[in-house]
Amino acid sequence: MAKEKLELVEVSPRDGLQNEPDIVSTENKLALIEHIIGAGFRRLEAGSFVNPKKVPQMADGDAVFAGAPKRDEVTLIALALNLRGVERALAAGAKEINYVFCASDGFSIRNNGGTVVETFAVWPEVTAAAKAGGARLSATISTAFGCPFDGEVPVARVVDVAEHCVAQDVFELALADTIGVAAPSDVHERVRAVKAAIPKQVQLRAHFHNTRNTALANAVAAIEEGVRVLDGSLAGIGGCPFAPGAAGNVPTEDLLYMFNRMGFDTGVDLDRAIDAAQFIGGVLGRKTPGMVSCAPKWPSA
């Protein structure tokens, strides 16, 4: 029997690095991207087009997109938070743009420069610009499980934001636990509620942070709800400049080991993913949170 497919989207070049205080060179970012593609990932967040004064680590987005390999089967995702960012991403040659909304006003004001309602005003223009520029568009709902400023985020609020997102043409909608507060029960509840509210052709993606060590369990919960696209960050690096205390993303190689063994086909080579995780750990020069890359080898399936 053919194995069931699971897509792992590698976010280390963007979400993984954006909060690093020391600037990682464009050369090392490109080397990381080579490692990621070499391991078999076919979709990765290569950079963001946000205010370089606020997120200096991402200021070289143009150079990263210009220098990254152009391969038909590989999609480099550019993250944007406003129309200007979308225009810069298109100018850099991005073929896929991930546009971020927030589920909470406290985070939205700091991260996106306006309340949730205010940020939706430009959404029709953003989708039109992406379409005209030949890029496909996905939307992410950050703080979908909790906000560092507003606290608990009601499920109804997340559903409302999801409905606003899919009112325009997006091929995918991601639910993000930006600060790593979710438990599997939250994932079951929120994925189910959002799924019921959006058109079937919009695929769901989930994005977990491991701040409270629940990310792997949350990933399994998402899979149980039918999600087949998960974000991960090699070595478990990551954080958010606007989310105090948020720790790293779920380590991709840990997701990979687990889902390989559960019988999913991700198309990614575990040994090469571990090499990539060790490469970025070496660049950062410190011990990183991922566990599988520190463990003895074990047949994964």
Q: 233 with 10: CB under 8 angstroms?
A: yes
Integer Cα distance of 196 and 206 in angstroms: 16
- Residue 129 or 194 having the CB closest to Zn ion: 194
The interface mask with Zn ion, positions 209-228, x = CB under 5 A, is --------------------
Integer Cα distance of 103 and 148 in angstroms: 12
- Residue 86 or 100 having the CB closest to Zn ion: 100
User: Is residue 177 a contact point for Zn ion (CB under 5 A)?
Assistant: no
User: Is residue 15 a contact point for Zn ion (CB under 5 A)?
Assistant: yes
Q: Of the residues 102, 147, 240, 294, which is catalytic?
A: 240
Binding segment toward Zn ion, per CB under 5 A, in 9-17, 20-28, 88-96, 256-264: 9-17
- In the bound complex, which residue of the shown chain has the CB atom lying closest to Zn ion? 15
- Residue 129 or 174 having the CB closest to Zn ion: 174
Instruction: Please count the other Cβ atoms lying within 10 Å of the Cβ belonging to residue 149.
Output: 16
Binding segment toward Zn ion, per CB under 5 A, in 8-16, 27-35, 73-81, 291-299: 8-16
Buried b (16+ CB within 10 A) or exposed e, 113-141: ebebeebbebbeebbebbeebebbbbbbb
Smallest gap from residue 1 Cβ to Zn ion (A): 34
To which residue do tokens 């205390």 refer?
Answer: 245
Binding segment toward Zn ion, per CB under 5 A, in 14-22, 111-119, 214-222, 271-279: 14-22
| 294 is annotated as an active-site residue | no
Q: How would you class 144 by CB atoms within 10 Å of its CB: exposed for 0-12, middle for 13-18, buried for 19 or more?
A: buried
Q: 86 with 97: CB under 8 angstroms?
A: yes
Smallest gap from residue 126 Cβ to Zn ion (A): 20
Smallest gap from residue 249 Cβ to Zn ion (A): 6
The interface mask with Zn ion, positions 274-293, x = CB under 5 A, is --------------------
Binding segment toward Zn ion, per CB under 5 A, in 12-20, 23-31, 127-135, 153-161: 12-20
CA within 13 Å, CB half, 271: 3
The residues, ordered by sequence, that sit 6+ positions from 14 with a Cβ below 8 Å of its Cβ are 45, 46, 47, 48, 58, 77, 79
- Residue 16 or 281 having the CB closest to Zn ion: 16
Catalytic residues: 240
Question: Binding residues for Zn ion, per CB under 5 A?
Answer: 15
